[in-house]
Chains A and B, each alone.
Chain A
Amino acid sequence: MLGEGILKGLAETARNFAGSFVSKERLTTVEYPEERSPLPEASRVFPFLLYDGTDWEAGMRCVACQICEKECPPKCIYIEKSKDKKPDYVGKPQIYPARFEIDVSVCMSCQICVEVCPFEAIKMDTDFELSTDDRFGGLLYDRKQLARSNEYYHSIHPTEAAEVDARLAEEKAKVEAKAKAAAAAKAAAPPATPAATTPAAAAPVSKPAPNATEAESK
């Protein structure tokens, strides 16, 4: 009969109306500032700089290699290298960023800086409540504002942070083992080195080249 569908529809909306007062499951709204749904672990907003230990300046992993600055598609990263050096996580002296700035109003959260960083120094944050009433300075984050501890990283991305820590520990162990082996070799056969250099000098020119690239890649 004509109008039957309208009555059915009216019944359905009435059921929804009444049901929304009775059952909590019907209401999908999360009243945001008071209650919030948990963020998924893989969520990402803007990058931050990781540091080890408690002192953000001493423990900063970034070595100002500027790869992220070059790779950043919207060019929101600005890095100035330092003149002096400080030891990195394996103890090797490295330069560090004298200035490291990210314009979060330009950043598009693509995570490319994180992908390209060879030092696990830049990671994505989950903090999205970054509104400010200062649209110029307030959105340009400097080194200090970007620095986050490794504990914080563990708290926001536990799985990823554990992997990163394992990798770094492995690398550090490798470097230490190598150093130990080198030291041991040095201690075991000090006269062997001059003997080894002589055939190397006599060898064809192409031979040191793979050695050099290997050293570079490490």
Chain B
Amino acid sequence: MLEKADQIFILLRNWLVGFLPAGWQTAAGVVLGVIGIVAVFPGLFAITTVLERKGLGRIQNRLGPNRVGPFGILQPIADAIKSLTKEDIVPRDADAVVHFLAPVFLVVVVFMGFAVLPVGRNMVLVDMDASLLFYFAMGASTEVSIFMAGWSSRNKYSLLGAMRAVAQMISYEVPLLMSSVVIVMMTGSLSLVKIVEAQNQYSYGLPHWYIFTPWGFAAFVMYAIAGTAETNRSPFDLPEGESELVAGYFTEYSGFKFALFFLGEYLGMLSISGLGATLFLGGWSAPLAVLNWVPSWIWFFAKVMLSIVVFIWVRGTLPRLRQDQLMNFAWKFVLPMTLLDLVVAAVWRFMGDGLLRWFVCSAILIGVYVAAGRWGMRSKHFGPRSYRYAE
């Protein structure tokens, strides 16, 4: 029974596909999988928007949206109707074709990333050998769509936003990849399915997730920072800094194209969270051996939504960075730390089992972290500001 609940979507697909002639079955199975992804993740996007607005409201001691439906849960439907019925304006001087293609390209590329994420036991659309590589290839392509949007709008704010976005995303792409390389080193495989399987073991009832190792934890923190920057989320939301750039690269977008950008951004967030869960939090595996009876896909989505909650929490807490701080942070702190983490992972690998490697690896990481923090902050003085000319 529980076995069936775990595999319910696979069984459902096989049952539906069974009605077709044998030659069509593979193609139909893939189409059904695609439909599943295209239905579930935008649904999560809708939940995320309302969660975000309610959560941010509560963080700021407000109520958040509560007018549409009970407790405002039907707000995304109202938003969808609004964006569908709004006028779609294309600036006169804009490159209309590229302007149209940019949001479409973004959403398509982000959806492609979901193809390789294992959302449950046996539940992966394409089980590639190099699915991590494929994922990052797709993730990097979003930059193209953002630059397409910024360039084709023929608006200085759009272009500035797009340039910021591309600079930021390329800078943080490196630590993002580097922090994932650690996992590849330890697993010996680029396949996300294999990575999850490697973590789906338990000793003393506790899981072998990579976040529960010193190098894995460090990599996870770096991954979370880089992932936040990669999805243009606050505090790294400079590309759309509304106080400086109107709305950044989607200044000239309205109506449903804007909604598509919005969708793309949130899907990117969900997909980065999904990959983070897969790499560090054991993907679809249960957090305790005794909880293994719960269907695997529930664990995956629970982990994704937990990361979304953290995203929202961070957004409600931190103010936006400055461009130079952003770049300095990426190249001078996050990247060196991920490189160090590679070394630490190698040390861990070759020290063999035992408690000693825990101490050594943790000591290296914490020591360097504290020292780098001290050194990086040595010239910063926090406290009440003094003004030379004012007062």
Residues of chain A touching chain B, judged by Cβ–Cβ distance below 8 Å, are: 1-3, 6, 9-10, 12-14, 16-17, 19-21, 26-29, 31
- Does A2 contact B376, Cβ atoms closer than 8 Å? yes
> A16 to chain B: which residues have CB within 8 Å?
58-61
The residue in chain B whose Cβ has the minimal distance to the Cβ of A27 is B61
Binding site for A on B (CB under 8 A): 55, 58-63, 66, 313-314, 316-318, 369-370, 372-374, 376-377
Asked if residues A10 and B377 are in contact (CB atoms below 8 Å), the reply is: no
> Are A10 and B313 interface neighbours, CB within 8 A?
yes
Quick check: A9 and B317 within 8 Å, CB to CB? yes
Question: How far is B317's CA from A13's CA once the two chains are assembled, in angstroms?
Answer: 6
From B57, which residue of chain A is reached at the shortest CB distance? A20
Question: Distance in Å from the Cβ of B67 to the closest Cβ of chain A?
Answer: 9
By a CB distance below 8 angstroms, the chain A residues around B317 are 6, 9-10, 12-13
CB atoms of A3 and B373 under 8 A apart: yes
**8 pairs of A and B residues whose beta carbons are closest in the complex:** A2-B373, A13-B317, A9-B317, A20-B58, A13-B59, A17-B58, A26-B61, A29-B63
* A31 vs B67: C-alpha distance when bound (angstroms): 10
Q: Are A28 and B373 in contact (CB under 8 A)?
A: no
- Closest residue of chain B to A5, judged by CB? B382
Shortest Cβ distance from residue A17 to the other chain B in the assembled complex, whole angstroms: 5
Most interface-central of B59, B370, B374 (chain A CB within 10 A): B59
When the two chains form their complex, are residues A13 and B376 in contact, meaning their CB atoms are under 8 A apart?
A: no
Determine if B376 and A28 form an interchain contact, defined as CB atoms under 8 angstroms apart: no
How distant is the Cα of A124 from the Cα of B369 in the complex, in angstroms?
A: 66
Q: Which residues of A contact B314 (CB under 8 A)?
A: 10
How long is the Cα–Cα vector from A10 to B316 in the complex, in angstroms? 9
Given contacts A19-B61, A21-B58, 18 further A-B contacts (CB under 8 A): A1-B373, A2-B369, A2-B373, A2-B376, A2-B377, A6-B317, A10-B313, A12-B317, A13-B59, A16-B58, A16-B60, A16-B61, A17-B316, A20-B58, A27-B62, A28-B61, A29-B63, A31-B66
Closest to B369 in A: A2
**Contact between A29 and B59 (Cβ–Cβ < 8 Å)?**
no
Bound CA span A14–B317, Å: 9
Q: How far is the CA of A27 from the CA of B66 in the complex (A)?
A: 14
